[in-house]
């Protein structure tokens, strides 16, 4: 199993500097990770640093709370793709989901997917805040809205990915959507177990350590 091609090499901290992002991209090129995942302000910088490498650029939007209005998320997504992002990792409006407003959640995902066209859309449902029924509902919203992935976590909530959540999410989306596990993945054994459970992408800032031990 080539773990490097499952990894989105990630740096999303508020204190990440341009130099940190350039270093992230150097590491991603050296180890041939699938993508780097960065905040929107660094998309263009990452794209320039990765030019010709084959490593994708993923950008987060509505991050990390998901509570900004839909028009702002759409604008952010368009700006990121215009700046060179290949993939968008969006956070759903968790409050609307918990209030049972599934139409709002589904429509927002759908509008963002339409705004980015053929670019990949990953939908972060932030499992740590959801009941099992809410996790199922969120996955169904992403399915109906024709997203490309469902993703467990931002890594900034009260908890990250769990084996149980990935198993549940995969059981709902099947082969129609892919699953990204993110948050708290720090070693090769854990990474491999997520892949066995059906995750096709892993979000982690520990990618170098993970592949060095695989």
> pLDDT tens for residues 131-170?
999 999 999 999 999 999 999 999 999 999 999 999 999 9
Active-site residue (options: 73, 119, 122, 180):
180
Q: What is the pLDDT of residues 167-183, one digit of tens each?
A: 999 999 999 999 999 99
Phi, psi at 195, each rounded to 5°? -65, -40
For range 39-66, the mean pLDDT: 98
The rounded distance, in Å, linking the Cα atoms of 213 and 189 is 9
In three-state secondary structure terms, 213 is coil
Report how far Cα 14 is from the mean position of its chain's Cα atoms.
17
**What CATH number did the domain enclosing 119 receive?**
3.20.20.70
Can you tell me whether residue 160 is helix, strand or coil? coil
Asked whether 148 and 177 are in contact (CB, 8 A), the reply is yes
Does residue 192 carry a pLDDT above 90? Answer: yes
Cβ 64 vs Cβ 157: under 8 Å? yes
**Tokens coding 108:** 């927002």
Q: Is the pLDDT of residue 214 over 80?
A: no
Within the chain, strands assigned E span 7-11, 35-38, 56-61, 87-91, 120-124, 149-151, 178-182, 201-204
pLDDT for 20 equals 98
Distance in angstroms (rounded) separating the CA atoms of residues 39 and 50:
15
- Residue 122 annotated in active site: no
In which element (H, E) is residue 138 found?
Answer: helix 132-144
pLDDT per position as a tens digit, 4-36: 999 999 999 999 999 999 999 999 999 999 999
Determine the Cα–Cα distance for residues 194 and 210; give it in Å rounded to an integer. Answer: 13
Annotated active-site residue in 8, 86, 89, 148: 89
Catalytic residue among 135, 151, 165, 170: 151
Respond yes or no: is residue 151 known to be catalytic.
yes
Is position 180 annotated as part of the catalytic site?
yes
pLDDT tens digits, 77-107: 999 999 999 999 999 999 999 999 999 999 9
Q: Which residues pair with 145 in a beta bridge?
A: none
What is the extent of the structural domain holding 61?
3-212
Q: Would you place residue 213 in the very low, low, confident or very high pLDDT band (cuts 50, 70, 90)? A: confident
Domains identified in the chain, total number: 1
Provide the pLDDT for residue 186: 97
Q: Average the pLDDT over 124-135 and give the result.
A: 98
- Quote the percentage of the chain above a pLDDT of 90: 98
Q: Which residue's structure tokens are 């209030």? A: 99
Query: Tokens 């709902």 map to which residue?
Result: 172
């Amino acid at each position: 199993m080539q773990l490097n091609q499952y990894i989105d090499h990630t740096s999303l901290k508020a204190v990440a500097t341009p130099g940190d992002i350039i270093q992230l991209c150097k590491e991603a090129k050296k180890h041939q990770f699938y993508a780097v995942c960065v905040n929107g302000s660094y998309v263009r910088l990452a794209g320039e640093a990765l030019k010709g490498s084959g490593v994708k650029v993923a950008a987060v939007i509505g991050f990390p709370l998901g509570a900004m209005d839909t028009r702002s998320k759409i604008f952010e997504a368009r700006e990121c793709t215009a700046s060179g992002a290949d993939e968008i990792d969006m956070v759903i409006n968790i409050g609307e989901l918990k209030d049972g407003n599934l139409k709002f959640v589904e429509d927002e995902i759908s509008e963002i997917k339409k705004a980015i066209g053929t670019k990949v859309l990953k939908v972060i449902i932030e499992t740590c805040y959801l009941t099992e029924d809410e996790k199922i509902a969120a996955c169904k919203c992403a399915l109906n809205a024709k997203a490309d992935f469902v993703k467990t976590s931002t890594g900034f909530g009260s908890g990250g990915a769990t084996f149980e959540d990935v198993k549940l999410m995969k059981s709902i989306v099947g082969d129609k959507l892919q699953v990204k596990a993110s948050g708290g993945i720090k070693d090769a054994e854990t990474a491999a177990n997520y892949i066995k459970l059906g995750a096709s992408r892993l979000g982690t800032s520990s990618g170098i350590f993970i592949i060095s031990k695989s």
